Amino acid sequence: MNINYMRTFLVALETGSFSATARHLGLTQPAVSMQIQALEDYFGAKLIERQGRKLELTRAGVLALQNIKASLDLVDLTRRNIDELATEVVGPVLVGASTVPGEHLCPHLMGIFIKRYPMVKPRLIIENTSLVLARLHRHELDVAIVGAPPKELELHAEPIFHDELILLIHPAHRLATKAQVSLDDVHGEPFIGRTAGSGSRLVLERELARHGLSAGRLTVVLEVSTSLAAVNAVEAGVGLAFVSSLAAGASIRAGRGVARRLEGLTFSRALHLVTAPRLYNGRAVAEMAKFLRSTEARAVVEGRQREWQKLS
């Protein structure tokens, strides 16, 4: 039995369709169907039935789901037990990150970590917050760093870093010379927004709502999926954008963007270390989590944040 077929089965139930499963796993839809069929042939029973456009478990499928999850947990436990046989901290660590920490913090933090543990091979996967948490929930990741805490009770989140969204303005824009920028000043101005599922977007909407305001008050002319794309759009003169101070540093330093806080509003947030309960986590994963919680890692983040504060 191919273990990957079991993982495909779980993803199919998570996504609700073979086409979405194929997109998620980078497979063709016929390949997904073949893997599910192979599982059903192996167990000698129909596991999934189509009910309209949705997938529903049969009675056999419900039983299979419980045992497949348990089997994959045991495979994971075995792999990590074998890792522990080594005298050094070794093995892979799958790190998921939303776009801000993934693009602007993790490369620096991973660089420090692998110098300390050269036998550990981290793999960094960057997606928006909701997708990263979904992967972690399915045990496709070992740890995650995201900009919004998870809603799933099965995931454990702890704040480890601080971040702030600032208003990034093109240097030639009329607001670039203003020391104080208010919400009235930006009313009607074109904005670059983040796509649904972004932690930055959730923070923006939450703070506006706290003041009785709606994000719909902003005139969004373009939505982008990453903070870097938002910064580049500001530099191209598309409009204004609320972006992480961590993402805006290079633009401000090069004189391609101007940072301002919006008067009376504070778009601050915690970046969270998120883990999922497992039967066992190997030393490599434990050391990664320990490092991300450390004062050394926090000092790296705070140092990068001070860069934009000096320039703004």
CATH of the domain at 152: 3.40.190.10
In whole angstroms, give the CA distance from residue 274 to residue 83.
22
- How much of the chain is in helix, strand and coil states, percent to nearest 5? 50, 20, 25
In total, how many domains does the chain have?
3
Residue 153 binned pLDDT confidence (cut-offs 50, 70, 90): low
Residue 83 binned pLDDT confidence (cut-offs 50, 70, 90): low
Give the mean model confidence (pLDDT) for residues 272-280.
Answer: 81
pTM of the complete model: 0.67
Whether residue 167 is found in the same domain as residue 140: no
Whether residue 262 is found in the same domain as residue 168: yes
In whole angstroms, give the CA distance from residue 296 to residue 112.
10
In whole angstroms, give the CA distance from residue 286 to residue 137.
18
Q: Is the pLDDT of residue 134 over 80?
A: yes
In whole angstroms, give the CA distance from residue 81 to residue 246.
38
What is the domain-level CATH number for residue 9?
1.10.10.10
Q: Is the pLDDT of residue 78 over 70?
A: yes
Whether residue 198 is found in the same domain as residue 223: yes
What whole-number percentage of the chain has pLDDT above 90? 46
Whether residue 298 is found in the same domain as residue 252: no
CA distances, 232 to each of 127, 169, 239, 300, 304 (Å): 18, 11, 10, 24, 19
Whether residue 219 is found in the same domain as residue 305: no
Q: Is the pLDDT of residue 312 over 60?
A: no
Summary mean pLDDT of the chain: 88
Highest mean pLDDT among 15-29, 140-154, 234-248, 280-294: 234-248
What domain range includes position 220? 163-268
